[in-house]
A and B are shown apart, each in its own frame.
Chain A
Amino acid sequence: ILNVEQSPQSLHVQEGDSTNFTCSFPSSNFYALHWYRWETAKSPEALFVMTLNGDEKKKGRISATLNTKEGYSYLYIKGSQPEDSATYLCAFSGSARQLTFGSGTQLTVLP
């Protein structure tokens, strides 16, 4: 059974703060690690797909890193804004093509 863990479960930060969350996943049989941003009642929005150890991806104020040898990924948000409030999901894909999701980190950015 694959286990994808995310921490923290929830996080409250002030507008302008920078923050980061962690995703840990099995280091064996790895193919890709996906990050999504999800607001309830909307489609989960794809942020990044990372496949190589040491990968770093950036999209605006959001960036992510990947360590496949130790099985973790970090998502960073620089200068958080209220519109960044959402649940951030990571998902692992191995030799099977389906995504195995973590339970998410719920971020609230207070104005």
Chain B
Amino acid sequence: EAGVTQFPSHSVIEKGQTVTLRCDPISGHDNLYWYRRVMGKEIKFLLHFVKESKQDESGMPNNRFLAERTGGTYSTLKVQPAELEDSGVYFCASSRPAFDTQYFGPGTRLTVL
């Protein structure tokens, strides 16, 4: 069974530019989560999809962040326009039942210059 995959692994952009991160969850996992770790801090929750619906987006920092999961398969997280404080590692995780183990991808390291 393939694990959670994320693309790209690294992205370096300038302040004001747009970046789109992609996550492919484990096949059959209805629950998909986005998390972020900024340097030196804890991994923090951003949002949770159940299939294509946003279940909880209470962790999204502001309206520069837009997440989608069309068709309930892969998900994208767009940051537009990017700011310096958006730098960090963005993780995606997926699970079957909502409280089951969440399997993480390797993350996308975003650097905003």
Contact = CB atoms under 8 A, between A and B. Distances in A.
Interface of A: 4, 31-32, 34, 36, 41-46, 49, 51, 89, 91, 93, 96-104
Nearest to B55: A97
A96 to B, nearest CB: 7
Nearest to B59: A98
A17 to B, nearest CB: 27
B88 to A, nearest CB: 13
A100 B45 CA distance: 7
B42 A103 contact: yes
B42 A97 contact: no
A43 B104 contact: yes
Given A32-B99, A44-B91, A46-B101, A98 B56 contact: yes
B98 interface: yes
Contact of A103 (B41, B56, B99): B41
Given A97-B31, A98-B48, A101-B43, A43 B3 contact: yes
